[in-house]
């Protein structure tokens, strides 16, 4: 029976989070990363997904570069990578990540507008403030969260003004480009941009911060928000709050599309899916995971017994400087609610610093849970952050997505050719 209300909006992450030990044993994944990207983009476009997404970092952990060419989520520049992929696709959106903390607004505006031209109106900007990398840009410490978001707000205003400073037009009636003459707290930018706006929909803005400051920023500027919501209650709370904040800024309730990250581990049976999940996580370094927990909430679990519950009384005060307030809050919330043993905690997504929604089961299990979250008003869609290897990813695109379409939860075909058009499509 078709669902009532708006259809889901679905994106796909291109980060190689989905590889199992079996996939890695088949050979290095970074010898021809574009070839693998092209295949995944074409499969995603065939499934009528809203967009492909590339995260980014502007630093390298030397431990992560051993044994390969060092091409990973923060390797090849995401905007250049998506520009290459734009030539192998026609309709799927292309969401790149660019930091407002490290990249000057003029370069950012020009880079994104260039991708928008090359893709025929399919570029999107994931606005990030960055968690690390300051030493690569002459800073000893990262700015505090309030300063980072104040800088992000000013940078975003400048980028939008630069895009508007050189409007779209035919060669015969092109209006003149106009300077913006911006002089603010963090930036001085004269303008205008030296790239005209293409004659398509504008570039949509996506934001991933779920902290108090991040939510306030998203409510003002974002077309979609990429959220860490490991359970339905967290998703419901976030979506309600963002809609309330958007209304306070004079925006319509559905102006912001709330899209949690979703890890799917799919197999023919729940038992096989569980085995797949365990195989995928078999190579995770336990020491690094424990260190991540310590950084997030200040709790040292190095010598903690496996079967001893972790309770509220065991939690120290939060560290003075947090890498991510959002992920720290999710981890503390889970401990206070569930009192997990160490073994249970290390299995949970909150301890990995991602906090993504996770489904381990069959395609039918995944379709039913997604339908439930949608029916209950917890989500407007999701970004698939693949887990469980190539077969699980294939099941997601070729079995799960079609089942969502059959249920009336997802489009059967694109309603247009632009990224913003996909986000605005409301009916299947």
Q: How far apart are CA 37 and CA 40, in angstroms?
A: 5
What does residue 23 show for φ and ψ, rounded to 5 degrees?
-65, -45
Q: How far apart are CA 3 and CA 243, in angstroms?
A: 21
What does residue 116 show for φ and ψ, rounded to 5 degrees?
-65, -40
Nearest alpha-carbon partner for 19 in 391, 300, 295: 391
The token pair that represents 155 in the structure block: 């940078």
Greatest CA separation for the chain: 75
CB contact at 8 A, 408 and 37 = no
Element (H, E) at 310: none
Nearest alpha-carbon partner for 353 in 332, 324, 322: 324
Element (H, E) at 266: strand 257-266
Nearest alpha-carbon partner for 10 in 262, 253, 360: 262
Annotated binding residue 56:
yes
Residues forming a β-bridge with 182: 189
Q: How far apart are CA 193 and CA 161, in angstroms?
A: 9
DSSP for 279-291, please give it: HHTTT--HHHHHH
Q: How far apart are CA 309 and CA 345, in angstroms?
A: 9
What does residue 136 show for φ and ψ, rounded to 5 degrees?
-85, -5
Distance of CA 47 to the CA centre of its chain: 19
CB contact at 8 A, 346 and 286 = yes
Q: How far apart are CA 421 and CA 194, in angstroms?
A: 26
Q: Binding site residues, as ranges? A: 56, 97, 149, 211
Q: Binding site residues for FMN, as ranges? A: 56, 97, 149, 211
């Amino acid at each position: 029976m078709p669902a009532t209300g708006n259809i889901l909006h679905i994106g796909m992450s291109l980060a190689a989070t989905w590889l199992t030990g079996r996939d890695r044993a088949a050979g290095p994944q970074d010898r021809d990363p574009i070839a693998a990207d092209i295949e995944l983009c074409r499969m995603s476009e065939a499934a009528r997904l809203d967009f492909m997404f590339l995260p980014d970092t502007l630093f390298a952990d030397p431990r992560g570069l051993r044994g390969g060419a060092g091409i990973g989520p923060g390797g090849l520049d995401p905007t250049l990578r998506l520009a290459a992929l734009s030539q192998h696709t026609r309709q799927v959106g292309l969401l790149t990540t660019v930091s407002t903390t490290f990249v000057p607004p003029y370069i950012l505006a020009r880079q994104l507008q260039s991708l928008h031209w090359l893709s025929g109106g399919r570029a999107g900007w994931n606005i990030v403030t960055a968690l690390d990398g300051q030493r690569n840009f002459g800073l000893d410490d990262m700015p505090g969260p309030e300063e980072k978001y104040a800088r992000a707000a000013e940078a975003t205003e400048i980028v939008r003004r630069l895009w508007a400073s050189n409007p779209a037009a035919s060669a015969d009636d092109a209006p003149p480009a106009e300077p913006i003459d911006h002089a603010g707290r963090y930036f001085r930018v004269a303008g205008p941009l030296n790239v005209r706006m293409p004659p398509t929909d504008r570039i949509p803005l996506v934001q991933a911060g779920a902290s108090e400051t991040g939510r306030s920023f998203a409510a003002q500027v974002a077309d979609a928000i990429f959220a860490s919501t490991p359970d339905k209650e967290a998703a419901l709370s976030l979506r309600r709050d963002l809609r309330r904040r958007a209304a306070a800024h004079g925006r319509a309730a559905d102006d912001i599309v709330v899209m949690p990250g979703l890890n799917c581990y799919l197999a023919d049976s729940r038992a096989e899916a569980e085995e797949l999940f365990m195989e995928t996580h078999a190579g995770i370094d336990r020491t690094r995971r424990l260190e991540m927990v310590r950084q997030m909430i200040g709790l040292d679990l190095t010598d903690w017994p496996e079967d001893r519950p972790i309770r509220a009384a065991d939690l120290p005060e939060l560290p003075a400087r947090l890498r991510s307030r959002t992920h720290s809050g999710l981890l503390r919330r889970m401990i206070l609610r569930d009192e997990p043993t160490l073994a249970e905690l290390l299995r949970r997504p909150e301890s990995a610093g991602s906090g993504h929604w996770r489904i381990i089961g069959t395609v039918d299990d995944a379709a039913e849970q997604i339908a439930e979250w949608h029916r209950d008003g917890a989500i407007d869609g999701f970004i698939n952050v693949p887990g469980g290897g190539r077969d699980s990813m294939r099941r997601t695109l070729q079995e799960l997505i079609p089942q969502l379409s059959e249920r009336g939860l997802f489009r059967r075909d694109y309603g247009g050719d632009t990224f913003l058009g996909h986000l605005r499509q409301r009916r299947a």
